[in-house]
Copies of this chain bind each other. A is one copy, B any other.
Amino acid sequence: MQVYTGNGKGKTTAAFGLALRAIGRGLKVYVIQFIKGGFDYGELYIADKLPNLKLKAFGRGKFVTEKPAEKEDVKLAEEALALAEKVIKSGEYDIVILDEVNVALDLKLIKTEKVVELVKSKPRHVELVLTGRYAPAEIVEIADLVTEMKEIKHPFSKGQQARKGIEY
Contact = CB atoms under 8 A, between A and B. Distances in A.
Contacts of A11: 10, 14
A147 interface: yes
In the assembly, how many copies of this chain are there? 2
Interface string A25-63: 111000000000000011111100110000000000000
Interface residues of A, number: 55
B42 A25 contact: yes
A165 B127 CA distance: 10
Interface in A101-159: 127, 140, 143-155, 158
Interface stretch (A15-23, A67-75, A78-86): A15-23
| Consensus secondary structure, chain A interface | mixed
B153 A150 contact: no
Nearest 4 Cβ contacts at the A-B interface: A13-B17, A16-B17, A21-B42, A10-B14
18 contacts: A8-B148, A9-B14, A10-B14, A10-B149, A13-B18, A13-B21, A16-B17, A16-B20, A19-B20, A24-B41, A24-B165, A27-B165, A140-B152, A143-B153, A144-B160, A145-B154, A147-B151, A149-B149
